[in-house]
Amino acid sequence: MKIAMGSDHGGFTLKETLKSHLEENGHEVIDFGTDGPSSVDYPDYAEKVCKSVVSGETEKGILVCGTGIGMSIAANKIKGIRAALLSDVFSARATRQHNDANVMCLGERVVGAGLALMIADEFLSSEFEGGRHSKRIDKITKLEEN
Ligand code: RB5
Q: Above 90 in pLDDT, residue 120?
A: yes
Q: pTM to 2 decimals?
A: 0.98
Q: How far is CA 9 from the centre of its chain?
A: 16
Q: In 3-state terms, what secondary structure has residue 38?
A: coil
For ligand 1, pick from 9, 42, 45 the residue to mutate: most ligand atoms within 8 Å of CB. Answer: 42
State the average pLDDT over residues 46-54: 98
Q: Whose CA is nearest to atom 5 of ligand 1?
A: 66
Q: Whose CA is nearest to atom 3 of ligand 1?
A: 66
CA 131–ligand 1 middle distance (angstroms):
37
The total number of residues shown for the chain amounts to 146
Distances (CA, A) of 56 to 44, 51, 92, 118, 119: 19, 9, 21, 25, 23
State the average pLDDT over residues 38-42: 98
Residue 50: active-site member:
no
Catalytic residue among 9, 27, 50, 98: 98
For ligand 1, pick from 13, 40, 71, 108 the residue to mutate: most ligand atoms within 8 Å of CB. Answer: 71
CA 10–ligand 1 middle distance (angstroms):
6
Pocket of ligand 1 (CB under 6 A): 8, 10, 42, 65-67, 69-70
Q: Above 90 in pLDDT, residue 69?
A: yes
Q: Note the pLDDT of residue 146.
A: 77
State the average pLDDT over residues 51-77: 98
